[in-house]
C-alpha cells in the first residue's frame, strides 16, 4: 500500500493504491514518492479538473459495507454533467427509505471525484453536504455544467 500526494486547486490530493488499484483518494497534507498507479490517477484527475476528461479509466477498489458499495455503484452510474438525489441513490441501492443512510454512505466515499458523490444533491435541487465543503462541490458541478433536479421533484425519486 502506498500513498502519493499531488497539488490541486482544492489542496493536496492524497491517492492511495495497492500497486494495481486506487483504493482511496482524499484531500490531505503530506509528501511522499509517487507510485505509477497514483501518477496515472493524478493525470486523469488533472484532466478532469481542467475540463478535458469526463470519465476515468483508472482501476479502483473500495472497502465498505454491502450497502455502501451499492450506494457508491449507484453514484458511479450518474452521467457526467447530471445530478441525482439522495432518494434516487437510496432507491438504486435497494433501500428506498434509507435516504439518510445513503447520504452517510456518500460522505464515506473513499475515492472522491472518481466516485462522483458531488453529483448527489437534495430533492429540492440544493447542493447538500460535501466532505470537503459546499464550495468544492459547487466547483465540481460547475466544471461539469451539471443540471439540477427541479424543486418540484420533492420526495419523488428524481
Which residues are identified as catalytic?
A: 117
C-alpha cell at 96: 428506498
> What are residue 26's DSSP bridge partners?
14
Here the cell at position 120 is 448527489
Rounded Cα–Cα distance for residues 25 and 139 (Å): 18
Task: Read off the C-alpha cell for 28.
Answer: 490531505
Rounded CA separation 8/89 (Å): 28
Q: Give the whole-angstrom CA distance, residue 151 versus residue 81.
A: 18
**Three-point CA angle 126, 129, 131, nearest 5°:** 150
For helices 66-76 and 99-107, what crossing angle results, to 10°?
Answer: 80
Amino acid at each position: 500500500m502506498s500513498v502519493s500526494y499531488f497539488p490541486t486547486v482544492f489542496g493536496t490530493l492524497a491517492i492511495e493504491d495497492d500497486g494495481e488499484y486506487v483504493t482511496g483518494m482524499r484531500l490531505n497534507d503530506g509528501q511522499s514518492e509517487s507510485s505509477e498507479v497514483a501518477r496515472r490517477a493524478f493525470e486523469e484527475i488533472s484532466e478532469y479538473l481542467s475540463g478535458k476528461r469526463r470519465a476515468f479509466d483508472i482501476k479502483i477498489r473500495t472497502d465498505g459495507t454491502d450497502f455502501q458499495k451499492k450506494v457508491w455503484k449507484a453514484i458511479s452510474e450518474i452521467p457526467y454533467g447530471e445530478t441525482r438525489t439522495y432518494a434516487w441513490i437510496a432507491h438504486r441501492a435497494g433501500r428506498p427509505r434509507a435516504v439518510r443512510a445513503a447520504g452517510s454512505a456518500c460522505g464515506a466515499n473513499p475515492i472522491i471525484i472518481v466516485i462522483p458523490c458531488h453529483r448527489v444533491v437534495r430533492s429540492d435541487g440544493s447542493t447538500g453536504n460535501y466532505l470537503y465543503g459546499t464550495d468544492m462541490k459547487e466547483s465540481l458541478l460547475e466544471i461539469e455544467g451539471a443540471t439540477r433536479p427541479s424543486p418540484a421533484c420533492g420526495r419523488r425519486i428524481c
